[in-house]
Structure 1
Amino acid sequence: MVVDPLSIRYSRVPPRLRNRPTGGPGLNSAAVQSAWGEDVAEGRYAGHPGLVYPRRPRSFAELFTGAQRWVDRTFLVQGERRIGFGEFFAAVDTARARLEPLGVQPGARVVLLAYNSPDWVVSLFAIWALGAVPVLGNRWWSPREAEHSIALVDPAAVITDDPAVPADVMILDVADFASCFGGFADAPPELPGPHTEDDPAAILFTSGSSGMPKGVELSFRGIVANQQNVLVRSRQLPHLLNPQAPQQVNLVCTPLFHVGALATLLTQVITGGRIVLNTGRFDPGEVLALIEREGVQRWGGVPTMAVRILEHPDFDSYDLSSLRAFPLGGAAVSPVLLERMARRLPQLQGRGLANTWGMTEGAGFFTVAGGADLTRYPSSVGRPYPTVELRILDPDESGVGEVLVRSPT
């Protein structure tokens, strides 16, 4: 991994803050403002000193404070299914009530092993609503990998769309959760906990090394810190939002069991954005059609996805003018690809492209390059997020060395 010297220069400097408004049009609760801050300060986590946000959500209730502002907006779109926030909030409570009698207790682990769908999303939030820990399994696992990973976490249940999943525990069909939809609630459901910020909030898996999948336990602190970093950098903290502004439409094609897609999902619940899900595996033709049909403004993906849509034979026949942001990550991004994207999608020139770096173990993102930074340093992954401390160990004459990172994520 090469991190441009631009990143090192900012590695331990808290962001310089301009005078900014403390509220936004339509703000109807002081709690929305009090739960979030932009300043970072020296603190402690995991027994070590580090940069933290003194003002940060410390519970699920605080994380989603203000989400009731979005109840009349569309939240999830997949195929012909269109689900509003109000309907989703009610569905979470219904799904929770179905899981509770089955013996899913607070602190228990529940594996979620399925392709992207609204039913996957409602299952995730229902697990949290019970105070349990969702385990986000990789739907592309082989039977051997699935059996190993499920046994590793000793779950109370597995929610899946795979009838052949190898597990000696209670198996629930994720499609059954589709019947939870149809109601309406004017506020998000009450999600308990955590007891402490270091309690586990989710378990994901990484295959970044050899051998079988390895579980990564993400704390509530880590997930919240990643969300706050993203919202601070993008100027989307809840108390800065204008509920009357047009809704942002986001396309998610990466699996929701990946940490980047999970961060996108949580961001939209907090900020009132819309998520458009593709169906099945990645299909560049379907993606092009979805961007045109749904007026997608933001689509993040891995470089191979970008290459496949650029090379699609029908690329020029679609109206892609709505697309304004395309952050890339998950693999190295070449300057040649950035140039191709800017040429074929000219509306992305300037501020529309971004290159991110992160990992599952870090609950999301460590650095991001965009705008002028990416133009000047097209091979860079950019500046660290506000709570991320970064150092290059034993760099050679070109600045290449081992990347050391410390962050509450």
Structure 2
Amino acid sequence: MSVLKEQTNVEAQAIEAKKAAKKLGLLSTEEKNEALHVIADSLEQNFQYILDENEKDLQNGREQGYEEAFMDRLALSKARIADFAEGLRQVAVLEDPTGNTVSSWTLDNGLLVEKVTVPLGVIGMIYEARPNVTVDATGLALKSGNAIVLKGGSSALSSNKAIVSVMHDALKATKIPQEAVQFIASTDREATKQLFTMKEHIDVLIPRGGGSLINAVVNNATVPVLETGVGNCHLYIDVEADVEKALTILVNAKTDRPAVCNSLETAIIHKEWLEKNAEQLIQTLRDHTITVHGDETALSFIPNATLANEEDWANEYLSLDLAVKTVKNVEEAIEHIDQYGTKHSEAIVTENKTTAKQFMNLVDASALYHNASTRFTDGGALGFGAEIGISTQKLHARGPMGLPALTTVKFLMSGNGQVR
């Protein structure tokens, strides 16, 4: 296995990526797909090398006292490596998002106008402790004809270097140049800041991680940013909610994988529903060791709950802690989400279609659910293959960002000597 060079000249790497992006634009869909399969096979074949390097990061995390949720995002296994390799194969099956004619028309003077999809160019990816992002982002970038410059967090440095080394070796057997995948191995924060201002080389930045990272990129970058968001996700249990559906969805959204951004952080419960079903709710919370931080009404029904404060309503726990807010109607639920939500994923459980429609129409979020778990806000779960992030902004792309989000358009005009 080749050793990834400790490059610190971020600008030089970005320039190499830009040159490689030009070559990517000449490749066929079949050549890009073949490369993804080669990378996927290589990741699976070299899983032990990746796990050995991942263990270095995990050991460092244990020494640093990282929280359990953080360690879960950092940890790899043979099964997880197989999962993100399979994600690459799923991306290969998807339709190529580039070179498609969105629309075309002919002007009165005979000039043919075509609007076609093209790659963004060079993507700068800044992320924290998820080594799988290294693979997911690379696969989506290459399939959509983009080069990528990766800057992972220092906590996953050994894991990411190993993964990129495997991918670089795999690319030697493909038509895609190794330079299309750049990894900034430096832990110097100045290296990250360099990415923020290289508009001449980087076409878009995508931050993926906690609120402090995202805010740092959004507030300081001069390069255009595709903003992803933290997930303070809510579940509103309406007065007309089916008990079994409500409890099943709550448990899945909170406990299936608490450390991810689409997990449930706040349950908003109609007071009348709580009064009728408190016993079943309490038992469910106990069975799944969920710790409740509730308002005064919630505390009067749920034993061992602690009184919630402003921090609890805004917190992305990423653990088995759950904030519980009681309301009198759907309007109060929406008001609470408007105040504390992060525009990520919000859900309602109700058998009343009118109430559901009101919730779905008025709540401002990238993904909304009626009688379903927020855990489906994921590129793979929604059929996109891997995802490069979940956009909570409203320009260009919103929600889980798959291949189409990594393209833009250009207008092609064909004439026969027309002048104006």
Q: Decide: shared fold, TM above 0.5.
A: no
More helix by share: 2
Tell me which structure has the larger Cα radius of gyration: 2
Please give the TM-score of this superposition, normalised by the length of structure 1: 0.31
